[in-house]
Amino acid sequence: MKPTQKFNPLGKARQLQNAFTELTFKDVHLSVSSPVYCPAEDSFLLAKAVGQFAVGSVLDLGTGSGIQAIVAAKKSEVDHVTAVDLNKAALSTAQENAKANHVEKKIVFVQSNLFENITGKFDVIVFNPPYVPVEAHEKLDDESMAWHGGATGRTVLDPFLSTFSNYLQPNGALLLLQSSLNNSEQTIAELKKQGFTTEVHSTDSFFFEKIFVLVAKRA
């Protein structure tokens, strides 16, 4: 799981991702190998919220293995999913996984740095961002971009927060994975400043961090 990176840069996340992994979450079957992020507790917590809240058009930002996009696409209430990643290998993996789960016709795959190549507005935006605070000297590559959050853990999160509302329908919802590692109070304050109400949907705790899913809607 990626947060161990904070304590051991060559730790569990890297070991997990170097191996080819097959896993099942509910009725979703996934195959993943390096340099694509292997779904972990953060992914599963968010996927539960996706299973509950996804409707209409869904944007899955930083799709990785495609877990969130596929959970959404399996829902009859969801018409269409856009799955985005900066990492090309993640997009190929997500596409293969979508095929294996028979939902590829509902999902389009777009390579994009956050919203750079995205147009339109979505009913639900889902994001499990890279959020682990790391030392400046740690290099950013296809694998580390899955968890590397820069010095404060907010390098990707802050630009996301300042832009996402342009892509959200007026009654839309944001499902955002957050961690105690990267000042989630700042995230909640920023969302409130933009006129959103926030609710903690679910939480999970480990000895080194607490993770939770924030559901944000316009007040």
Ligand X SMILES: C[S@@+](CC[C@H](N)C(=O)[O-])C[C@H]1O[C@@H](n2cnc3c(N)ncnc32)[C@H](O)[C@@H]1O
Please report, as ranges, the residues that interact with ligand X according to CB under 6 A. 37, 39, 43, 46, 62-65, 67-68, 84-87, 90, 113-114, 128, 130, 145-147, 156
- Residue 213 C-beta: closest distance to ligand X, Å: 11
Do the bridges between strand 168-179 and strand 210-218 make them parallel or antiparallel, or are there none, so unpaired? antiparallel
Beta pairing partners, 78: 56
Residue placing its CB nearer to ligand X in the complex, 140 or 189 = 140
User: How many angstroms separate the CA atoms of 197 and 217, rounded?
Assistant: 5
Residue placing its CB nearer to ligand X in the complex, 112 or 194 = 112
User: How many angstroms separate the CA atoms of 25 and 39, rounded?
Assistant: 9
User: How many angstroms separate the CA atoms of 198 and 151, rounded?
Assistant: 26
- Residue 37 C-beta: closest distance to ligand X, Å: 4
- Residue 219 C-beta: closest distance to ligand X, Å: 27
- Map residue 164 onto helix, strand or coil: helix
Residue placing its CB nearer to ligand X in the complex, 141 or 197 = 141
Closest-approach residue to ligand X (CB): 62
- Residue 168 C-beta: closest distance to ligand X, Å: 17
**CB-based contact 130:145 (threshold 8 Å):** yes
User: How many angstroms separate the CA atoms of 19 and 22, rounded?
Assistant: 10
Residue placing its CB nearer to ligand X in the complex, 68 or 82 = 68
DSSP for 87-123, written as a single string: -HHHHHHHHHHHHHTT-GGGEEEEE-STTTT--S-EE
- Residue 146 C-beta: closest distance to ligand X, Å: 4
Residue placing its CB nearer to ligand X in the complex, 159 or 219 = 159
Residue placing its CB nearer to ligand X in the complex, 115 or 217 = 115
- Residue 83 C-beta: closest distance to ligand X, Å: 9
Comparing CA positions, the residue from 153, 120, 122, 118 lying closest to residue 135 is: 153
Comparing CA positions, the residue from 113, 109, 101 lying closest to residue 80 is: 109
Determine how many CB atoms are found less than 10 A away from the CB of residue 54.
26
